[in-house]
């Protein structure tokens, strides 16, 4: 397997030519195992989301990792910057497309903002994997993600800076070695500009776990 950083503004896969999946064959080392195959992502991130992306490089690993995501055996942690007054923590269970959905959140820090009143650094743990789940869930409690042009509040949409949603880490039991593995992708610079000292505290805390 391989772990990649996905930048904003690129699809993981799909009909478009410019996708992570299409770029992998020319940019990643193939496995030397007997069932090596074209590397491919085993989960998805939104077009505007940055962060960690897991790739399978053998037929057996792709099958195993896909199954682990489907069975919710991969612990995913995201961070977002949200707008407005917010509870310190909570569980959002609003259905999405008629399906049961759950996102747990913890509001870590807030800073005042002249335009947005308050910006919050929020840790997110999706327990289901619906399309646009975190974006829809945060919008449903009136705390949309900064820069979200689809689900944001019309007069409070930040343009030109991207969406402030970052897939930070993955934790799971390796399907072949049975060892616990943990991968992370550090915060984008735009997060650090808003919460500079606090971001450092989170990084130090995560490194000590």
- Compute CA 174 distance to the chain's CA centroid, rounded to the nearest angstrom: 20
Question: Quick check: 43 and 53 in contact, CB under 8 A?
Answer: yes
Please name every residue paired with 78 in a beta bridge, in sequence order, or none if there are none: 124, 167
Question: Quick check: 185 and 163 in contact, CB under 8 A?
Answer: no
For 200, phi then psi, to 5°, come to: -60, -40
Q: Look at residues 113, 119, 102, 131 and name the one whose alpha carbon lies nearest to residue 164.
A: 119
CA torsion 56-57-63-68 (nearest 10°) is -30
Catalytic residue among 35, 46, 89, 148: 46
Is 142 a residue of the active site? no
Q: Which residues belong to the active site? A: 46
């Amino acid at each position: 397997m391989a772990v990649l950083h996905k930048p904003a503004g690129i699809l993981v896969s799909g009909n478009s030519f410019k996708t992570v999946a299409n770029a992998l064959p020319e940019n990643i080392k193939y496995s030397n195992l007997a069932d090596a195959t074209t590397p491919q992502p085993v989960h998805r991130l939104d077009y505007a989301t940055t962060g960690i992306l897991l790739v399978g490089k053998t037929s057996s690993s792709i099958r195993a990792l896909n199954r682990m995501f489907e069975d919710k055996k991969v612990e995913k942690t995201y961070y977002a910057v949200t707008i407005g007054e917010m509870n310190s923590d909570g569980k959002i269970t609003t259905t999405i497309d008629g399906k049961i959905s759950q996102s747990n959140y913890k509001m870590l820090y807030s800073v005042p903002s002249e335009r947005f009143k308050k910006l919050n650094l929020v840790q997110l743990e999706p327990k289901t994997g619906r399309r646009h789940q975190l974006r829809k869930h945060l919008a449903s409690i009136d705390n949309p993600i900064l820069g979200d042009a689809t689900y944001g509040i019309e007069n409070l949409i930040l343009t030109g800076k991207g969406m402030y949603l970052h897939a930070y880490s993955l934790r799971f039991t390796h399907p072949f070695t049975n060892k616990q593995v943990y991968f992370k992708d550090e915060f984008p610079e735009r997060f650090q500009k808003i919460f500079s000292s606090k971001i450092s505290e989170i990084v130090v805390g995560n490194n000590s776990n």
